[in-house]
Structure 1
Amino acid sequence: MMIVELIDGDDFRDRLVALGIRIPEHACPETCARMALRKHMEVGVPGLQELVREMMGKTDVLLPSVRAAIERFLLPGLR
């Protein structure tokens, strides 16, 4: 049996925080994505585009709420 680690809202938040984005604990994926986009638009966030690309390449293990937040806020905002 293969066990797969799903990427949930906490994982998403942790990865964004690792890029230097300040996000409150227990923030939902939508809030995380909005705050990441705002920071990116204000000052830029090195590594954000790569993170989004990496995560969207793993849609099979992304929880739907995380995928939806990325698709709604970050994908359009990073183009």
Structure 2
Amino acid sequence: MMIVELIDGDDFRARLVALDVRIPEDACPETCARLALRKHVEVGVPGLETLVNELMEQTDVMLPSVRQAIDTFLLPELRQR
């Protein structure tokens, strides 16, 4: 039997915090994505594009709320650059 770790809001938040994005502990995936986007637009977030690409390769184990937040807020901005 194989156990798979899902990418949930806490995982998403932790990965963004590791990139020095300040996010409240109780933030939902949408808030996490919005705060990451704001910082990225204002000063840049090194590693954000790599993180998003890595996460999008794992959509089969990603919760829909995380996927929607990435699709809605981060991918459109990253595709423009």
Shift of 1:61: 0.5
- Whether 2:15 is the aligned partner of 1:15: answer yes
RMSD over aligned CA atoms reads 0.4
Name structure 1 gaps, 5 residues minimum.
none
Return the alpha-carbon distance in structure 1 between the equivalents of residues 77 and 31 of structure 2. 14
Return the alpha-carbon distance in structure 2 between the equivalents of residues 26 and 55 of structure 1. 21
For normalisation by structure 1, the TM-score amounts to 0.99
Q: Detail structure 1 runs of 4+ shifted over 4 Å in the superposition.
A: none
Please give the secondary structure, in 2, of the residue aligned with 1:60.
helix
Percentage identity across paired residues of the two chains: 78
For normalisation by structure 2, the TM-score amounts to 0.96
- Whether 2:36 is the aligned partner of 1:36: answer yes
Question: Matched residue pairs, number?
Answer: 79
Name structure 2 gaps, 5 residues minimum.
none
Please give the secondary structure, in 1, of the residue aligned with 2:50.
helix
Please give the secondary structure, in 2, of the residue aligned with 1:41.
helix
Return the alpha-carbon distance in structure 1 between the equivalents of residues 16 and 58 of structure 2. 16
Return the alpha-carbon distance in structure 2 between the equivalents of residues 17 and 56 of structure 1. 18
